[in-house]
Amino acid sequence: MLEHIDGVALAVAILAPALATLAIAALMVTGRAREENVVAISRTAFLASLAGAIAIAVVVVQDGPREITTGVWFEAGHHAFHVNFLLDPLAAMMIVLTAGACSLIGHFSVTYLHGERGHTRFYLLLDLFAVGMLLIVTAGSIDLLFVGWEIVGITSALLIGFFHERPMPVRNGLRAFVTYRCCDVALLVGIIMLHHYAHETGMHVDPGRWAAGLPAVSGGGATVVGLALMLGAMGKSAQAPVGGWLPRAMEGPTPSSAIFYGALSVHAGVYLLIRAQPVFERSPIASAALIVVGAITAVTATLTGRVESDVKTTLAYATMTQVGLMFVELGLHLPTVASVHLVGNAVLRCWQLLRAPAILHELHEVHGALEHELETGRVLDNIERKLPGHVGAWLYLRALDRFYFEALFDRFLVRPFFALARALARLDEGLGTSDTPVAVPRRAATDGGKR
């Protein structure tokens, strides 16, 4: 009986939010979008998706992992893009987490964003994000995973700049977008290199593993592919030194912060690295790099979060710390530990971020306590118990400066990126006006008439 449920359940889980996205877009284009209609469409879609996710989990538990092939999307030469889906214990766990979190946020946002001008736009992006995240966690190849990866990235940047009437959210959204673009180039290079070395990018079930993985690559190829995939995961999971966009992302609505940077999007990089464990197991260099990046992020994010007084920013750095520890776990080849850590941290951070608006009034007490500690010079008491005073003071000052990661990233990547974008815009304007008639000054016209 369960043999025919998996395909239907998977179609319902992914197509429900996809159809909701199209329906809301159609209502927006025709001018018929009403708050109650949009909420009803999204709620129905998320509940249907959750039901499909639960059905998938039941099938996987009863019958074990399975692969679903729906055909070829396109072909180019000897290469073909197969649309394959993979349902194993890791995918089942993540699809239930994704659908459940989206349903919760969809319900929570009804009251939180009631009367907001961008209410319809928020639900459109939330439904589209659900589609992207579901593609990531059910993709049977890293090629299809990359499609969902890009959908999640664009919806993330747009929701950071949700309150576009103010310049800061837009600026922070662009900052996140630049980080995604740069790191996604590395991910794309990793996919191309995987094609080159392994001649395939599908994820296959190994009887000795509880989660399917990418094809194994040996020698220098494993190092090249592993480092490229790590760089791609660093951008999405906000690891040092490119993680400065995550605290800035808190400019977006609290519901989107909870689902993106508490529950799902920020853990997408960890999910990718879990699938890539066969590659990292054959590359000590790539594994060591994972450990170093995760450890540096965990330490610096912990110290920086200790000097922040804003609750959402503090939670952002707490998330960076835990994701850094997951990178360390994966560098030590402990994917099961990292998977359990992922789910626990996702649930906790989502709950904390949703609860954040209710405890904002406590910030007044935090500010008062911080000012008192600064006046009495006791703000470093906890650090001074284990470190000399001058070392603790140095760490405190560096934490206030966020260890210069953001300044360096801005100087060497963000500013040149924006400068290039402005130069291309000026070039485009110049080329665009070259074929348009130029207004003739009055004096020139008169002189021409005399001739």
pLDDT at 358: 67
- Domain final residue, candidates 112, 140, 168: 140
Taking the model in full, what pTM does it have? 0.83
User: 36 lies in a domain?
Assistant: yes
pLDDT by 10-residue block (mean), the chain, 451 residues: 71 95 94 88 95 93 87 76 89 95 92 84 95 95 94 94 89 91 94 91 83 88 95 93 88 88 93 95 95 94 84 89 96 95 94 77 56 51 57 65 66 73 77 50 40 37
User: 418 lies in a domain?
Assistant: no
**Residues 305 and 206 placed together within one structural domain of the fold:** yes
The Cα 99–Cα 139 span in angstroms is: 15
The parent domain of residue 22 ranges over 1-140
The answer to whether 126 and 113 are in contact (CB under 8 A) is: no
User: 107 lies in a domain?
Assistant: yes
User: 71 lies in a domain?
Assistant: yes
CA-nearest of 411, 122, 417 to 244 is 411
CA-nearest of 409, 321, 308, 407 to 363 is 308
**Residues 329 and 216 placed together within one structural domain of the fold:** yes
The Cα 330–Cα 258 span in angstroms is: 24
- Domain final residue, candidates 362, 388, 414: 362
Calculate the CA 377 to chain-centre distance. Answer: 39
pLDDT at 293: 96
**Residues 171 and 206 placed together within one structural domain of the fold:** yes
User: 383 lies in a domain?
Assistant: no
**Residues 124 and 156 placed together within one structural domain of the fold:** no
pLDDT at 442: 44
* Inter-CA distances, 430 with 352, 416, 423, 426, 433, Å: 50, 21, 11, 6, 5
**Residues 219 and 318 placed together within one structural domain of the fold:** yes
DSSP string computed for 205-223: --TT-SS-BPPP--THHHH
How many Cβ atoms from other residues are within 10 Å of residue 248's Cβ? 21
User: 386 lies in a domain?
Assistant: no
User: Total domain count for the chain?
Assistant: 2
User: 355 lies in a domain?
Assistant: yes
DSSP string computed for 384-412: HTTS-HHHHHHHHHHHHTGGGHHHHHIII
- Domain final residue, candidates 362, 391, 421: 362
**Residues 250 and 342 placed together within one structural domain of the fold:** yes
